[in-house]
A and B are shown apart, each in its own frame.
Chain A
Amino acid sequence: MAENTIKATASDFLKKVKPEKPPKEIKRSRKEERERFKKRLSTLTPAEQKYLKRKRAFETLWPICRGLLVFGLCFVIIYPLIYMITAAFRPRSEMNDPTIIWISRTYTMDNIKDVIRVMDFWKTLGNTLFINIGCSIVQVITCAITGYGFGRFNFKGKNILFGVVILMILMPAQIILIPQYMFFRYFNPLGIWHAITGEYINLIDNALTMYMPALMANGLRAGLFIFLFRQSFRGLPKELEDAAYLDGCSPLGTFIKVMIPNAGSTFLTVFLLSVVWYWNDYYISTSFFTNNSTIALQLKNLNASLTRVLFNNGTVKVNARELIVWMESGCLLSITPILVMYIFLQKNFTEGIARSGLTGM
């Protein structure tokens, strides 16, 4: 008998503990939906009816419009890329065939091979990566340190110095290009090298022209990066810093152990933007490099070097439409590395920018 009662209570207990099934969602047909909506409307005042009707119409129509818009705009952006791919693998002769717009009759790797030869692609790629990745890493670190100084400390003259940072963002690079060129062309370490040896050091065509500014938080668009870091460090709660101080952490230790882990997304964002801008830069590097040693420079001058290398003759005129296959192959080659990087990191990138505290002006 006793066993039975125990069993009974146990089953009761189980029944009680078992979560009740969520109420089934009633599936209604569209017709029923509409009738319910009408019923609901009839209990409301005319103004409320009008509001509900409008809202309903908007809610059904908007997703369609939005879908069309997003699709159209995405298409506009991707269009040149699709064209790039189709043209890069198209035989040159087929560029003149008016019946071919997107899909060519045959595919060829010749254009790509030609361009790899003309651009000296692998060597250039190595060189670009060396400058690009190295400078970006260095720049991210130095800009973070500077941004932290501006965002978290109060000292005399801070506003004036930050004004210099803003000026760095605003000032076009063209203004300071010549003095910078002279600085590197006749480089004079510590200002005494010339007095001792009677000579200047020529740093043109040396990667140091890119590394030195980056090392001192003055690289490409460094002002913007310092600004970004300052905003993001300023947005972190003060309690973090105080807690670290009470635990006996020095400001440098606080920066490394507490602040950096909390600003990870900003670091990633700045690194990516920095890589992209170093990769794409041809304006600054034209003046510091004479021998087309980065991808962007090679691509900028591809037009001229194509005829020179392919036909051994700079004066050969190639039909502009036929030239496109090589130009597009060059573009494809040069954006592939950053495109791959972007595809892998894009989620962190877009979220990182959204969270990097840009809004805390």
Chain B
Amino acid sequence: MRLNLSYEKKKGLYGYGFIALWFIGSLMFFIIPVIKSFIYSFYDVKPDVGALVMSPLGLENYKKAFMVDPDFRKNLMEVLGATLWQTPIIIIFSLFVAIIINQKFRGRTFARAVFFLPVIIATGPVYAIITNNLDTSGTADADQFSTMFSADMVDQLLEFVGIYGFNDKLTEMLSTMTSDILNLVWKCGIQIIIFLSALQGIPTSAKEAAAIEGATSWEFFWKITLPYVSPMILVNLVYTIIDTFTDPTNVVMEQVLSVQDDWKYGYSAAMAWSYFAIVLVAVGIIFLVMNKIVYYDD
């Protein structure tokens, strides 16, 4: 028997066919594990042959995380604080870089290739080793500046006038600045790419209108670029937050993993879930607030 369905309905059925594989997979590898780990967080879970031995604890795990464990709260505040001040800087910086490498100049292809290099390297263990080595090797950025300044006339002159320790302060300032810039640039790869694609999506008609009206670059940025890019600012905000929160090298994640290694599965699940809830609330608030500010073309 041949089913007599309309074109649209038939298409709908094909849609189920296309996502069927993913659906089965996500049941096995995502939905069921998520539910399981949520259940774990209310139990004391110990590994045993063939299965996990579980004894119910109620909210004990959560209470322990927030009331008893001193590290968890401290780490949580640290990560939240770091995200709070890093995210705006990352967004502004990557928008700035994207605008620059969207312009035409000699060596643009090379510059683009270099700016996307962090995407290739920064997610792996290589990055940790690189930054660590630059700190311990003594050839790191700031120390080179300090050797340059140590024989400097300026310092001696200042000492003569009566200002001591100027060199040290300068070195310290330079060292924090350079290492911050290094970290910043290395974290912006994907964001720059997303902004670049948004910049290239600005319609030519808008650009021409601005040119005919005689807009300066400054006005062009505020009245053309920013509105057209604003949906991608939202995307980048969410991406940056998720990226910093789920980064395996941040302190909360490290703590969750170390607790897991101690076989305290229930406790680690409770920590991970409360952490995730906070992230979700933060992302939700940003989404609601930004969605009103963002300008959509259509």
Q: Which of B81-89, B151-159, B162-170, B252-260 contacts A (4 or more CB under 8 A)?
A: B252-260
The size of the chain B interface, using a CB distance under 8 A, is 100
Question: 8 more A-B contacts (CB under 8 A) besides A174-B253, A355-B197?
Answer: A51-B214, A78-B114, A83-B137, A164-B31, A170-B279, A217-B25, A218-B26, A324-B136
Question: Residues of A at under 8 Å CB distance from B?
Answer: 51, 54-55, 58, 62-63, 66-67, 69-70, 73-74, 76-81, 83-84, 87, 95, 98, 101-102, 142-143, 145-146, 148-150, 152-156, 158, 161, 164, 167-180, 182-183, 186, 200, 212-213, 215-218, 226, 245, 251-252, 255, 273, 276-277, 279-283, 296, 299-300, 320-321, 324, 327-328, 330-331, 334-335, 338-339, 342-343, 346-347, 349-350, 353-356, 358-359, 361
Chain B residues with Cβ below 8 Å from A153 are 11-12, 14-15, 18
Q: Is the CB of B185 within 8 A of A77?
A: yes
The answer to whether residues A342 and B120 also contact, given A321-B138, A358-B197 and a CB cut-off of 8 A, is: yes
Question: Residues of B at under 8 Å CB distance from A?
Answer: 7-8, 11-19, 21-26, 28-34, 36-37, 40, 50-52, 97, 100-101, 103, 105, 107, 109-121, 123-126, 129-131, 133-134, 136-139, 141, 144, 178, 181-182, 185-186, 193-194, 196-198, 200-201, 214, 216-217, 231-232, 235, 242, 245-246, 248, 253, 256-257, 260, 265, 268-269, 272-273, 275-276, 279-280, 283
Q: Is the CB of A149 within 8 A of B125?
A: no
Q: Is the CB of A174 within 8 A of B272?
A: yes
Q: Is the CB of A156 within 8 A of B283?
A: no
Q: Is the CB of B29 within 8 A of A213?
A: yes
Chain A residues with Cβ below 8 Å from B245 are 172
Chain A residues with Cβ below 8 Å from B13 are 155
Q: Is the CB of A77 within 8 A of B114?
A: yes
Highest count of chain B CB atoms <10 Å: which of A156, A324, A350, A355: A350
User: What is the chain A residue whose CB lies nearest that of B35?
Assistant: A179
Q: Is the CB of B26 within 8 A of A358?
A: no
A361 to B198, CA, bound (A): 10
The answer to whether residues A146 and B12 also contact, given A63-B105, A169-B242, A179-B33 and a CB cut-off of 8 A, is: no
